[in-house]
Amino acid sequence: MRIALVGAGAMGTIIGSLLTEKGYDVELVDSYREHVEALNKNGAKIIGGIEKTIPVKAVLPEEVSGLYDLVISITKHGGLIESLENIKPCTHENTVILTLQNGMPEEKSKKVFPEENLMGGGMEFSGTFIGPGVTKLASDADTLGVSFGSYLGPVTDKVLEVKEVLGKIGHVEITENLKGVRWTKLSDNSTFSGFQTALGCSVGEILDDDMAMDCIAHIGMECARVVEAQGVTPVELFGLLPSPERVCFTNEYEKEKVKAYWKEVYSPYRGQIASMLQDIRNGKKCEINNINGETVRMADEAGVEVPFNRKIVEVVTKLQDKEMDLSNAWSNLEEFRRLI
């Protein structure tokens, strides 16, 4: 099997290098020239949850050639369609397109590839891009895993073949409810990733602050209400199930139980720095409109009030556009406290 890993940032580099180490023919495709050059010259250096350097093959988008049997796409939403159109001439009628981005990337992917070729899923680990050729696994090694399924639902031979590939990275779960996986991952990102970006901090800093955890409880409850209103049954990922029974509350006692639940789920990810925050720190546009923005859009569609998610979009957009100072972002906690 010949594999293209498109979007070799933190998560993509981890996946592509680990698959290479297991003997698969993998090309890491990325537009960051210095990163591509470093990967080819020095290999992929992974630090943090695991410590190793793995020789890999990396190419720029204009250098892809031949035919790929599996395309694993982890590009940012803004470049997703362009990246898929670029790789399309190097695919055949049975090539599987597996999208592992946050948000709802399959809705964009099906504009480029037939629905029967599409699979999607959520990654259960966390990565931080350190610099050209160097990536940090920001969670423990036992978090390495993926839940995925076909866009159309059934577990086919192709799905089982992809499961075998992904199993070389870590644990794998197949789902026939891809929408449920997507909504769980969207709730995950809207809650902790969105909030830590608004505060310019790590997961651990939120876990250690009681007022921040109060906000997390409210953000998570908003997400669960949107999922419920959309008629979606969420799928449990890395211990997270954004259902009303798990994350909604009506009084202080119930809220404390919900906060304890969030702490238990996220304790292995204390060192995580959200990719949105990494982007803003590097002067790039982030995916806030495809994460909390998507939650807000779906909430508006369903008639659900989501003031915390709406505030996250507002604050992160201002940080991204340099209308607010990222170095003082923790003070934004006061704006969220007022919502309580």
**Do residues 295 and 335 both lie within one domain?**
yes
pLDDT of the residue at 101:
87
For CA atoms 126, 297, 316, 195, the dihedral sign is negative
**Do residues 74 and 201 both lie within one domain?**
no
CB atoms within 10 A of CB 228: 18
pLDDT of the residue at 28:
98
**Do residues 126 and 77 both lie within one domain?**
yes
> Which of 176, 197, 226 delimits the end of a domain?
176
> Which of 176, 209, 235 delimits the end of a domain?
176
pLDDT of the residue at 14:
96
Burial letters for 7-33: b for 16+ Cβ neighbours within 10 Å, e otherwise?
bbbbbbbbbbbbbbbeebebbbbbbee
**Do residues 104 and 196 both lie within one domain?**
no
Q: Taking a C-beta distance cutoff of 8 angstroms, is the pair 143, 126 a contact?
A: yes
**Do residues 13 and 93 both lie within one domain?**
yes
**Do residues 169 and 21 both lie within one domain?**
yes
**Do residues 209 and 158 both lie within one domain?**
no
Per the structure block, which two tokens stand in for 186?
Answer: 């969207």
pLDDT of the residue at 124:
87
Instruction: Note the pLDDT tens digit of each residue in 183-236.
Output: 998 999 999 999 999 999 999 999 999 999 999 999 999 999 999 999 999 999
Q: E strand or H helix at 339, and its extent? A: helix 333-339
Averaged in consecutive runs of 10 residues, what is the pLDDT profile of the chain (340 residues)?
Answer: 95 96 97 97 96 98 97 90 96 96 87 95 90 93 93 94 96 92 92 97 96 98 96 91 96 97 94 91 92 96 97 98 96 96
pLDDT of the residue at 2:
97
**Do residues 100 and 244 both lie within one domain?**
no
**Do residues 255 and 123 both lie within one domain?**
no
Instruction: Note the pLDDT tens digit of each residue in 235-249.
Output: 998 899 999 999 999
Q: Taking a C-beta distance cutoff of 8 angstroms, is the pair 263, 213 a contact?
A: yes
Q: Phi/psi zone of residue 200: left (φ > 0), alpha (ψ -120 to 50 degrees), beta?
A: left
Structural domain count of the chain: 2
**Do residues 152 and 40 both lie within one domain?**
yes
> Which of 176, 193, 221 delimits the end of a domain?
176
pLDDT of the residue at 326:
95
Q: What angle do CA 240, 164, 25 make, to 5 degrees?
A: 115
E-strand spans in the chain? 2-6, 25-29, 44-48, 52-54, 57-59, 68-73, 91-99, 118-123, 127-131, 134-137, 145-150, 171-174
**Do residues 28 and 74 both lie within one domain?**
yes
pLDDT of the residue at 199:
98
Q: Taking a C-beta distance cutoff of 8 angstroms, is the pair 5, 29 a contact?
A: yes
Residue 204 structural domain: 181-339
**Do residues 156 and 94 both lie within one domain?**
yes
Global pTM reads 0.81
Q: CATH no. for residue 203? A: 1.10.1040.10
CA distances from 173 to 122, 163, 176, 321 (A): 10, 8, 10, 38
Q: CATH no. for residue 107? A: 3.40.50.720
